[in-house]
Amino acid sequence: MDFELTADQREIQGLARELAEAEIVPNAAAWDRDHRFPDELYPKLAELGLMGVCIPEEYGGAGADFLSYILVLEELSRADAGVGVTVAVHTSATTLPILTFGTEEQRSRFVPPLARGEQLGAFALTESSSGSDAASLRSTAESRDNGWTLTGSKQWITNGSRAGTFILFARTDPETAGARGISCFVLDASHVVVTREEEKLGLNSSTTSDLLLERVDVDRDRLLHEEGRGFQVAMATLDGGRIGIAAQALGIAQAAYDVARTYAQEREQFGRPIADFQAIQWKLADMATEIDAARLLTYRAAWLKQRGRPHTEEGAKAKLFASEMARRQTGEAIQILGGYGYTKEFPVERYYRDAKITEIYEGTSEIQRLVIARSILGMQVREEPSISTQGTHS
């Protein structure tokens, strides 16, 4: 086992950290307070290749590996988790599925603008009545001579009001219940209507929208993968996407730990820094240990995906542990800061709010436990029950 990052991985990690410190950290609190999507930031990320880190160069990407992309998400989320989730959905939930399941014409047509950051991507699966049970979605795609007519609505779509390209799921066989009747389509912004912007507990620098499709006509070449096999696209996408959410949670927790450790070394009570007290030392020790454990789980899952090996169980474990760890340890950071931690003078209350959603979207913690249990018990997964997408992500 080799736990060292390669020179290229360290360079990409450093590049993302440098940009985050210069462009994101000074603005993150204001973006959160104003609920503002930082449109001006993403061209800067694109200039450095960070909007297509793990996309091959021939399709406009930086050509790095999947772990390098995970390192970028960790660094961006350490600065602002809203930025992290915007890039995560754009890359793992939109660009990579087209690259994996698309025809060569679709890859050449849709991937380069996404990889170069000329457009943002969005993943539209969740509906008001289908969250954890995503296979019960009601949006339809009616076949016609030269294409499809799509009708329906989607809820909690990250990047929905900014995206130029959508991966969207609809039922092409209304007579078949569950997953077998679902297909996947690549749509443009002109095909959807944004009907609502969600106000959220956290991730206030990201946009989360409801969408409407009103008998939208698209050509046959907008079908991604095979008709009736869209659910396979969704599940494969979520397998990799969960690793990105684990990286997001990891970045949030690392940021909270950094603030708490510095504060503990500087804040004095009873004539000495509070870091001298065992109660605070143990909190910091637990934080550091759990962050390291989450990082190892996350990097292992990314390593497996990069090599084309099965990673469903490992990705679920990484997301489950990292997300619950981030929620616990951002709470501990507030505790270490005491009253200051509960105010907006310090960023730990923002980290706490941002961390919670990582236990919900891309599959709730309860669903992750189900995925892991099925894997370790060798249980065959039926197609009908979905892996949860409940949340603001998809």
Bridge-based pairing of strands 163-171 and 120-124 is: parallel
Per DSSP, the three-state class of 266 is helix
Alpha carbon 154 to its chain centroid, in Å, reads: 18
If you average pLDDT over residues 213-224, what whole number do you get?
97
Tokens of 161: 């009001």
Burial 50-66 (b: 16+ CB within 10 A, else e): bbbbbbeeebbbbbbbb
Predicted confidence (pLDDT) at residue 31 exceeds the cutoff of 50:
yes
d(CA 291, CA 278): 20
Residue 381 confidence class, pLDDT cut points 50, 70, 90? low
The residue that leads in pLDDT, 266 or 130, is: 266
Task: Specify the pLDDT at position 393.
Answer: 57
**Quick one: angle between helices 365-376 and 312-337, nearest 10?**
140
Q: Which of 362, 366, 383, 384 is catalytic?
A: 362
For tokens 């494969």, the residue is 236
Task: Specify the pLDDT at position 130.
Answer: 86
Residue 129 confidence class, pLDDT cut points 50, 70, 90? confident
Task: Specify the pLDDT at position 387.
Answer: 40
Residue 134 confidence class, pLDDT cut points 50, 70, 90? confident
Task: Specify the pLDDT at position 380.
Answer: 64
Task: Specify the pLDDT at position 20.
Answer: 98
Per DSSP, the three-state class of 61 is coil
**pLDDT tens digits for 308-342?**
999 999 999 999 999 999 999 999 999 999 999 99
For 91-222, where are the alpha helices, taking DSSP H only?
96-101, 104-115
The structural domains of the chain, ordered by start, are 7-119 (1.10.540.10), 122-230 (2.40.110.10), 231-376 (1.20.140.10)
If you average pLDDT over residues 198-214, what whole number do you get?
97
Amino acid at 53: V
**Which residues share a beta bridge with 171?**
140, 182
Task: Specify the pLDDT at position 391.
Answer: 45
Amino acid at 23: E
Task: Specify the pLDDT at position 389.
Answer: 45
**Beta-strand (E) ranges in 160-224?**
163-171, 182-188, 193-197, 208-219, 223-224
Share of the chain above pLDDT 70, in %: 96
φ, ψ at 237 (rounded to 5°)? -65, -45
Task: Specify the pLDDT at position 372.
Answer: 96
If you average pLDDT over residues 346-355, what whole number do you get?
98
Judge whether 362 counts as a catalytic residue.
yes
Task: Tell me what the pLDDT averaged over the chain comes to.
Answer: 94
CB 342 within 8 A of CB 334: yes
| CA torsion through residues 23, 26, 29, 33, sign | negative
Residue 177 confidence class, pLDDT cut points 50, 70, 90? confident
**pLDDT tens digits for 56-90?**
999 999 999 999 999 999 999 999 999 999 999 99
**pLDDT tens digits for 227-285?**
999 999 999 999 999 999 999 999 999 999 999 999 999 999 999 999 999 999 999 99
Among candidates 127, 102, 126, 130, which has minimal Cα distance to 114?
A: 102
d(CA 12, CA 293): 22
CB 138 within 8 A of CB 130: yes
Question: CB neighbours (10 Å) of residue 105?
Answer: 9
For tokens 């990292």, the residue is 322
Task: Specify the pLDDT at position 384.
Answer: 38
Among candidates 129, 125, 39, which has minimal Cα distance to 86?
A: 39
For the chain, where are the alpha helices, taking DSSP H only?
7-19, 25-34, 41-47, 66-79, 81-90, 96-101, 104-115, 230-266, 278-306, 312-337, 348-356, 365-376
d(CA 49, CA 293): 29
Predicted confidence (pLDDT) at residue 362 exceeds the cutoff of 70:
yes
Task: Specify the pLDDT at position 394.
Answer: 59
Among candidates 247, 223, 216, which has minimal Cα distance to 315?
A: 247
CB 24 within 8 A of CB 79: yes
d(CA 223, CA 76): 33
Per DSSP, the three-state class of 387 is coil
If you average pLDDT over residues 37-52, what whole number do you get?
98
Q: What is the DSSP letter of 381?
A: P
Output the CA–CA distances (angstroms, integers) from residue 147 to 46, 72, 171, 172, in the order listed.
33, 38, 14, 12
